[in-house]
Structure 1
Amino acid sequence: MAQPYLSIEHIDKSFTRNGLTSTVLRDVNLKIERGEYISIIGHSGCGKSTVLNIVAGLIEPTSGSILLENREVRGPGPERSLVFQNHSLLPWLTVYENVALAVDKVFKGTKSKAERHAWTLHNLEMVNMGHALHKRPSEISGGMKQRVGIARALAMQPKVLLLDEPFGALDALTRAHLQDEVMRIQSELRNTVMMITHDVDEAVLLSDRIVMMTNGPAATIGEILTIDLPRPRDRITLVDDPRYNGYRHAVLSFLYEKHSHPGAVA
């Protein structure tokens, strides 16, 4: 049997403070195929970001393991790029320099200076930010900053792109435009994507599967919903699609059930 591209195996995570131990995650298991777009959704405090940070290598699990291409993940690495809700750009660097910094870090030994320059420009053009190369973060909008953050992550050519509520701080129109950009880029590059979201419509629109977390403490995966909608997806057309509305209803029902019965496990 073929091994999954990314495997989250029996992950537990506890934190201890002042002698008290709190279990955030318990026995989280998930297998992700190459090129899949996975969304993780659940109420606040259910450990969504903890799962993502463990996959990123920023947090060590208390027990269990993360396997990428059947190799255990130990610590951060350029094969897993993380985009935060806050763009995390360096304010004293230009748009170009913010992306070039990551490119130089990853490819200095394998690409020439000219190749790294061309690759930086390519990734900024991919997110439609080629016009703002010499602007600093303070001179561009929130949506533009997030585009640069995505370009920086993609420029590292990660095997897995990790998105932690990347559109949560944006206005509705900017969020919609950026969601469309991410769908377009993912269809071109076939990245494997894990995204944290609170937005049900966003999860259904973007995902191949939606992973629904039970409430914390000791949260785990309650249900996994496969989104069988053809790509490319158009948000206007999908509004009247009964399958789209059925998926949306299924996620909302799960979240409502968990809110009404916090201790319930599906």
Structure 2
Amino acid sequence: MSYLKIDHVDKRFQRGTATTEVLKDINLVIGKGEYVSVIGHSGCGKSTLLNIIAGLTPVSAGAVLLEGKEVNSPGPERAVVFQNHSLLPWLTVYDNVALAVNKVFGRQKSKAERHDWIMHNLDLVQMGHAKDKRPAEISGGMKQRVGIARGLAMEPKILLLDEPFGALDALTRAHLQDSIMQIHAALGNTMIMITHDVDEAVLLSDRIVMMTNGPSARIGEVLDVRLERPRKRLDLVADRTYIAAREAVLKFLYERHRFVEAA
């Protein structure tokens, strides 16, 4: 039995009498512990697909199955980290993570156990020292670390990342990418990431899912990234496998499926 199966999924949006087909016949099987990136031009339905996996958006046809059970609503086994960190500004770093922990584990863990679990996840993203700060008092990269900690603290089967580094400067982005690689190596959890960044996709992923342009976007190709782990970005600069993977994604995006803006 597959871990996560996206089975002949279509998604249509209705506005009045007009129907827009965003996704058409999406089929994908993701194994436990895989890191999969979904890449494509704007408007190809990447975030819609992520929201369907998260249970935030219903399918129009087909189904999403997690360990054989249909996904049709949000659940703590599928945590989402958005590009906008979505932290509550009046709560401390600690309390933002505690909000998720208390919701998921309020009846399973004692207060002391929940505290230890919150601190464990903050330490995992190197934010334990800032537990008493509020979002306005920390940087954008630190906010995103807290968002990742909050997602991990739910102990999800799948961590869904919707362009989690898109709003960050290049240096902060690189540090967070390295952190995600370390967390994935340590925990072995399944991660699915939406990205526009080709280098990011190749660096982090086991497989890259390349979407055709919308409307009626499909999976055009799936690329296996055959790079050994752990990966170090400086070592990959001249690596032939890395260069070939990067070239394959770029060719797909900019030769075969070039984005054309509407006039």
**Alignment partner, residue 106 of structure 2:** 108
Q: For 1:58 and 1:189, how far apart are their aligned partners in 2?
A: 25
Q: For 1:174 and 1:214, how far apart are their aligned partners in 2?
A: 30
Residue correspondence of structure 1 range 49-198 to structure 2 within 5 A: 49-198=47-196
Q: For 1:260 and 1:168, how far apart are their aligned partners in 2?
A: 21
Q: For 1:49 and 1:203, how far apart are their aligned partners in 2?
A: 15
Residue correspondence of structure 1 range 231-242 to structure 2 within 5 A: 231-242=229-240
Which residue identity lines up with residue 93 of structure 2 in the other structure? V
Q: For 1:15 and 1:144, how far apart are their aligned partners in 2?
A: 36
Q: Is the 8 A contact 1:209 1:224 kept in 2?
A: yes
Partner residue of 2:206 out of 202, 205, 208: 208
Please give the per-residue CA displacement for 1:120-158, whole angstroms capped at 9, x wherever unaligned: 000000000011010000000000000000000000000
Q: For 2:171 and 2:149, how far apart are their aligned partners in 1?
A: 20
Q: For 2:33 and 2:128, how far apart are their aligned partners in 1?
A: 26
Q: For 1:17 and 1:195, how far apart are their aligned partners in 2?
A: 29
Please give the per-residue CA displacement for 1:64-86, whole angstroms capped at 9, x wherever unaligned: 10100011112000000000000
Query: How big is the shift at 1:260?
Result: 3.7
Query: How big is the shift at 1:16?
Result: 0.9
Partner residue of 1:10 out of 8, 11, 36: 8
Query: How big is the shift at 1:261?
Result: 7.9
Q: For 1:88 and 1:242, how far apart are their aligned partners in 2?
A: 39
Unpaired runs of at least 5, structure 1: none
* 3-state secondary structure, aligned to 2:47: helix
Q: For 1:188 and 1:217, how far apart are their aligned partners in 2?
A: 39
Please, which moves more after superposition, 252-261 or 222-231?
A: 252-261
Change (3 A) 1:260 1:156: closer
Count residues with an aligned counterpart. 260
Return the TM-score normalized by structure 2. 0.98
Instruction: Report the RMSD for the aligned CA atoms in angstroms.
Output: 0.9
Query: How big is the shift at 1:257?
Result: 2.3
* 3-state secondary structure, aligned to 1:246: helix
Q: For 1:9 and 1:49, how far apart are their aligned partners in 2?
A: 17
Q: Is the 8 A contact 1:215 1:258 kept in 2?
A: no
Q: Is the 8 A contact 2:37 2:201 kept in 1?
A: yes
Percent of aligned pairs with the same residue? 68
* 3-state secondary structure, aligned to 1:256: helix
Q: For 1:110 and 1:101, how far apart are their aligned partners in 2?
A: 15
Q: Is the 8 A contact 1:79 1:156 kept in 2?
A: yes
Q: Is the 8 A contact 2:212 2:257 kept in 1?
A: no
* 3-state secondary structure, aligned to 2:13: strand
* 3-state secondary structure, aligned to 1:40: strand
Change (3 A) 1:82 1:260: closer
* 3-state secondary structure, aligned to 1:65: strand
Unpaired runs of at least 5, structure 2: none
